[in-house]
Amino acid sequence: MFDDEGISNIGLEEIEFVDDGGLWQVTVGFSRAWDQPAGVAAAFGGRLGRTFKVVTLKDNDGRVLSVKHRELVLAD
């Protein structure tokens, strides 16, 4: 699905089982080539951007029901 986007730093972030629906919600995080810090930010160790996707799977057959973008909410 993301082959042409040059993703890297792939990581499993969260797993949740939704019992009443028999669903797994799996959050995966990764970086893309354009998330790399550039210029002055790169020189001073700027943070690599990350994208998060929530994949919903059916428990009984492993079928993928959806892949949705997840916005990261930072606490104050």
In whole angstroms, what separates CA 56 from the centre of its chain?
12
pLDDT higher at 48 or 62: 62
Structural domain harbouring 11: 3-70
- Residue 10 lies inside a defined structural domain of this protein: yes
Q: pTM (2 decimals)?
A: 0.73
Quote the number of domains for the chain.
1
Nearest residue to 50 (alpha-carbon basis) of 9, 3, 2: 9
Residue 76 lies in a domain: no
Q: What pLDDT is stored for residue 68 in this prediction?
A: 96
Provide the strand spans (E) within 1-76: 8-18, 23-31, 51-58, 64-70
The residue that leads in pLDDT, 4 or 28, is: 28
pLDDT score at 43: 55
Structure confidence by residue, pLDDT tens digits, 12-25: 999 999 999 999 99
The answer to whether residue 12 sits within a structural domain is yes
Distance separating alpha carbons of residues 7 and 3, to the nearest angstrom: 7
Residue 75 forms part of a structural domain: no
Q: pLDDT tens digit string along 24-58? A: 999 999 988 766 656 655 556 556 688 999 999 99
